[in-house]
A = this chain, B = another copy of it.
Amino acid sequence: MTAQIASPLITALEGSGVRLTGPRRAIAEMISTRTGHFTAADLVGAAKARHPGIGRATIFRSLELLSSLGVVERLDLPNGDHAYVGCEPSHHHHVVCSSCGASSDFDDADLSTVVEGVGARTGYRIDSHRLELFGICPTCAAATTEAST
């Protein structure tokens, strides 16, 4: 009975009918050890070090697969870069730390009021939305304060 902690991603893969391959396990594990967001290039780099033999294409393909399963989400950073974060498959949004890349999820409740209001005012039938918040996480804020003391 070994620890299964690191694997909501693996669970998601298991439940989806795709094959649970070595590369996919390795990628899932590399993602689940990350605290914050990461780019495809980050993962390619990590793979080169920790799991040589995994190709660039496989990483892109896995990222797409995991996104489609809803356990990884693609973010568009303010600078235009694409990044990813591991997350719960339910609908929600992210706050991401501009300093360390950490991210938290938050849910939808209050936002849906806003979304409905906009729909009513503009006449659009709103199908989907995306909200991303950027700021400084408590840890980084503390570190900054300290440094300036």
| Residues 110-133 of A contacting B (Cβ, < 8 Å) | 110-111, 113-115, 117-119, 121-133
Copies in the complex: 2
Interface: A98 (CB within 8 A): yes
Given A128-B134, A128-B135, A130-B78, CB of A121 within 8 Å of CB of B98: no
Q: How many residues of A contact B (CB 8 A)?
A: 37
Interface: A20 (CB within 8 A): no
Pick the most buried of A82, A132, A141: most chain B CB atoms within 10 A of its CB.
A132
- Specify the chain B residue showing the minimal Cβ separation from A128: B134
Interface: A146 (CB within 8 A): no
Alpha-carbon separation in the docked complex, A106 to B135 (Å):
22
Alpha-carbon separation in the docked complex, A76 to B127 (Å):
16
Given A131-B131, A132-B129, CB of A137 within 8 Å of CB of B114: no
Task: Give the chain B neighbours of A95 by CB distance below 8 A.
Answer: 118-119, 122, 124, 126
Question: Would you call A97 and B124 a contact (CB within 8 A)?
Answer: yes
Question: Would you call A131 and B134 a contact (CB within 8 A)?
Answer: no
